[in-house]
Each structure stands twice: as structure tokens, then as C-alpha cells.
Amino acid sequence: MSNLLEIEHLKKYFKSARGTVHAVDDVNLTIEEGKTVGLVGESGCGKSTLGRTIVHLQESTDGVIRFAGKDVTHLDKKQMLEFRKNAQIIFQDPYSSLDPRQTVQDIIQEPLRLLTDMGKAEIEKKSEELMDLVGIEKRLRMSYPHELDGGRRQRVGIARALALNPKFIVCDEPVSSLDVSIQAQILNLLMDLQDQLGLTYLFITHDMSVVRHISDYICVMYLGQMIEKTDKKSLFDKPLHPYTKALLSAIPTVDIDAQPERIQLKGEINSPIDPKPGCRFAKRCPYAQHCCHEPVPLTEVEPGHFVACHRVKEINQL
Ligand SMILES: Nc1ncnc2c1ncn2[C@@H]1O[C@H](COP(=O)(O)OP(=O)(O)OP(=O)(O)O)[C@@H](O)[C@H]1O
Ligand SMILES: [Mg+2]
């Protein structure tokens, strides 16, 4: 399988009164066509910034973004419209990302009206197909977002994202604001759509059970950097970075005997403002030593399993 998305040394910095926020700081990432990469990490680590930068909702500070083999790091207006058709984003809270004054039908048809030369009848037909595809009842087409439940609102958001037949979708916490029973329906819908349409996903979540359900590969972020990357099975069976171990130990399991000992993280979270070189997790890491103040590259520790930790071999007895 070929890579649909390739990101090299991507950076997104924000200037603030207190200094420069290194929200995304030298991230490398590839996503194979048709696969789902799950992106996890705690609040503020840069997940949304990475997703938004990839789909060009904001300009990158540095680095390269390649999409389907083409360099798309810098785009003029025309190229941007073309790129928009291929790369879409779905947000956590469909309520705030859907225009409250538009009907379901208007919302779904808007990208077709603005970005294609389809005629009225064709747009009608396509929007009906989209509603079918995501499971929204036709009788709801004149409803407004506030008249729908959370699950249906997210279905509308998904239909709108699919309108232009994209290849790639960033899903930014698309089920986090939904009831657990509805979460499963929406996750299953996203997986069915992937199979039917050959979609490629970057799936952002802070919920380890959600990421386990949906991902092929998983990336763990910490303060703007990737600290562990591998396939789903390796990540859950054999997490190697101390931070990933702590994240996984916090998932409750039904089987009390199988519950790993919960690792409590101590120490303050470093700030993403003007970070020092060295491992950004060191202050909270139970294994930190002097060497951890040195810069730490993401390294292939086992085949296909990348970790950024100076002490990874000792800690895991590799
Ligand atoms: N437009 C902005 N201007 C300044 N700082 C920003 C901006 N957007 C994000 N940040 C900062 O960048 C860092 C990363 O934020 P981001 O929203 O990407 O995190 P996240 O991992 O998506 O968090 P969450 O899980 O809470 O959604 C944070 O420190 C945030 O305050
Ligand atoms: Mg976010």
C-alpha cells in the first residue's frame, strides 16, 4: 500500500505574550492509504493543532506535508480548493461546527454549491445519497441542527465532510461529546464508510478504548512531539514508552485480575512554551535520569515500533 500522507519535521508554533508555544514540534508521520492512524495524548499536547495544520486550516510554521505524492505544504487559492476536496475534517462538537440557521439539507449541499459546478438537480440527488450513506432519515432534511440529537448531528457533519468525495479525513474527537451507546454507532459508521469508500483517517482522541476500536496504527503525542508510534497490537500488548504505559494503566478493565497496576504520574506537566531540549516527559517520569536532559529522537526500537526514550531498552529489558 502506498502512503497517502507524509509529514516531515512539521512544526506549528504560536506566538503568545509569554513566549512561543511549540504546539507541534518536529513531527514525522506517514499514513497509508485506506488505513486509520489513531492520535492520542492528553489535553493540550497538540493533537488538534496537528490535524488542523495537515488540512490547512492553519499554516504550518515549518516542515513538509505531502499528499498523494505531491508537496502540499504551501498552496495558492486554487490549489487550496482542490486540496479541500481531498482532505476534510470532522469536529468533536457538531453543534458548534454546524450553522444553526441552516437546515440539514442546506448544510450538506453547501460544499456542493460552493466548490463544484453541479446543477440544482444533481445537487439534490447527491445530497439524498449522502443522507442515505450516513443514515439520516429523509424526513429530517428540513430540520435544524438544534432539533437533532447528538448522534444525528454528527451524521450531518460526516455527510458534509463526505460531500466532495475526499480521500482523507481528520476526525478530531468525533465521538467525545456523545453518549457511549451512540459513540459505538458513529464509530461503526466511520469504519463502514472507510470500507465502502476507501477512506484514510487520522483519528484524534484522548480515549484509549476508542482508539483501540478504530485504529490500525497509533501515535502517542506528548507536548508537541511524537513519543511512540506503532501498530495497534504492539502498542496495547507491549507499550514501551513510560508515558504510554501510564496512559494504558489508567484504562479500567472489567477483569480485576487483569488490571495492570495503575501508574500515577507525578510532577508538573512541562509547558509547551519555549521548551528546553531533552525529553519533555522527564519531569514526570519515574525512570528519569541525567541522560534524559539530552534531546531524544524517535527511534525504531523493534521492527515498526518507534519510541523516543533514552532509557527504553533498560526499562523494557530489550
Ligand atoms: N490559536 C492558538 N493560539 C495560541 N496557542 C494555541 C492556539 N491553538 C492551540 N494553542 C496551544 O497549542 C497547544 C496545543 O493545543 P491543541 O488544541 O492542539 O491540543 P489538543 O491535544 O488538541 O488538546 P485537547 O485534547 O484539549 O483538544 C496548547 O498549549 C494550546 O494552548
Ligand atoms: Mg483538541
pLDDT, tens digit, for every residue of 170-187?
Answer: 999 999 999 999 999 999
Q: Is 14 in the pocket of ligand 1 (CB under 6 A)?
A: yes
Per-residue pLDDT tens over the stretch 98-131? 999 999 999 999 999 999 999 999 999 999 999 9
Pocket test for ligand 1, best of 13, 25, 40, 48 (most atoms within 8 A of CB): 48
Q: Residue 254: what pLDDT?
A: 58
How does the average pLDDT of the chain come out, rounded?
94
Q: Give CA–CA dist 54/306, Å, rounded.
A: 21
Angle (CA) 119 55 3, round 5°: 100
Q: Residue 263: what pLDDT?
A: 73
Task: Give the pLDDT mean for 179-207.
Answer: 96
Q: Is 52 in the pocket of ligand 1 (CB under 6 A)?
A: no
Closest C-alpha to ligand 1, atom 24: 43
**Taking the domains of the chain in order of start, what are their residue ranges?**
3-215, 239-318
Q: Is 206 in the pocket of ligand 1 (CB under 6 A)?
A: yes
* Model confidence at 251: pLDDT above 90: no
Q: What percent of the chain has pLDDT over 70?
A: 96
Q: Residue 255: what pLDDT?
A: 59
Q: Give CA–CA dist 232/239, Å, rounded.
A: 10
Closest C-alpha to ligand 1, atom 5: 14
Q: Is 27 in the pocket of ligand 1 (CB under 6 A)?
A: no
Closest C-alpha to ligand 1, atom 12: 23
Q: Is 271 in the pocket of ligand 1 (CB under 6 A)?
A: no
Band (pLDDT 50/70/90 cuts) for residue 26 is very high
Band (pLDDT 50/70/90 cuts) for residue 264 is confident
Phi, psi (rounded to 5 degrees) for 211:
-65, -35
Q: Which is nearest to 296 in space by CA: 307, 305, 286, 288? A: 307
Q: Give CA–CA dist 250/165, Å, rounded.
A: 38
* Model confidence at 265: pLDDT above 80: no
Q: Give CA–CA dist 115/127, Å, rounded.
A: 14
Q: Residue 259: what pLDDT?
A: 59
Task: Give the pLDDT mean for 237-250.
Answer: 94
Q: Residue 260: what pLDDT?
A: 62
* Model confidence at 52: pLDDT above 60: yes
Task: Give the pLDDT mean for 217-242.
Answer: 97
Contacts of residue 148, defined as CB under 8 A and 6 or more positions apart, other chains included, come to 104, 140, 156
Q: Which is nearest to 163 in space by CA: 214, 105, 202? A: 105
Task: Give the pLDDT mean for 218-231.
Answer: 98
Q: Which three cell numbers stand for residue 101?
A: 440557521
Band (pLDDT 50/70/90 cuts) for residue 266 is confident
Band (pLDDT 50/70/90 cuts) for residue 269 is confident
CA distances from 233 to 13, 118, 215, 218, 309 (A): 33, 44, 10, 9, 20
* Model confidence at 149: pLDDT above 60: yes
CATH architecture of the region 3-215: 3-Layer(aba) Sandwich (3.40)
Q: Is 47 in the pocket of ligand 1 (CB under 6 A)?
A: yes
Q: Is 220 in the pocket of ligand 1 (CB under 6 A)?
A: no
